[in-house]
Amino acid sequence: MLALRQAADARQAMTDDELTYKIRGAIFDVYNELGPGLLESVYEEALAFELQERGLEVVRQAEVPIIYKGSKLKTALRLDLMVNNQVIVELKSVEEIKPVFAKQLLTYLKLMKKHVGLLVNFNTSNLREGIKRIVN
């Protein structure tokens, strides 16, 4: 029980920079193991596994509630991964990242009242260019 509490405290104490650094490491490990060109869902499952193995809390397909003029809409969005209830990770496996993907992540950040997110495109020959940090 004490170990679980200490792990939870450690997750809470992590800065955005520390957490995104750990997430990026997991992203590179998944990419190095699986390579480019697979379905987004495969990368989502593998990255969630990798992040959990590193002691991070991961929620897949977290609901993004939409509040319009004080009312919660019935329609909700889903983001790919929420890590430590702090960083949103949106995954793609596409030929190129379109500007709308970054706008989508920024909107998720605003709706969820979060500060930082990572937009990741696994379908690239240079993963460094496939990771974009988005700040709200």
Domain ranges for the chain, please list them: 2-135
The predicted pLDDT at position 9 comes to: 53
Mean pLDDT value across residues 70-82: 92
> If we measure between CA atoms, which residue out of 56, 48, 45, 49 comes closest to residue 22?
56
3-31 residues labelled b (16+ CB within 10 A) or e (exposed) = eeeeeeeebeebeeeebbebbbebbeebb
Place of tokens 């991961």: 58
Rounded to two decimals, the pTM is 0.87
Q: pLDDT confidence of 64, banded at 50, 70, 90?
A: very high
Assess contact for 79 and 108: CB atoms under 8 A: yes
Q: How far is CA 136 from CA 51, 82, 106, 111, in A?
A: 23, 15, 6, 10
How do residues 16-62 score in pLDDT, each as one tens digit?
999 999 999 999 999 999 999 999 999 999 999 999 999 999 999 99
Mean pLDDT value across residues 78-97: 96
Q: How much is the mean pLDDT over the chain?
A: 92
Place of tokens 């200490």: 6
CB-based contacts of 5, cutoff 8 Å, min separation 6: none
> If we measure between CA atoms, which residue out of 115, 103, 93, 92 comes closest to residue 37?
93
The predicted pLDDT at position 8 comes to: 54
Q: List, as one string, the DSSP characters of 89-112.
A: EEEE-SSS--HHHHHHHHHHHHHH
- 1, pLDDT greater than 70: no
Neighbours of 115 (CB within 10 A): 13
The predicted pLDDT at position 127 comes to: 94
The predicted pLDDT at position 12 comes to: 57
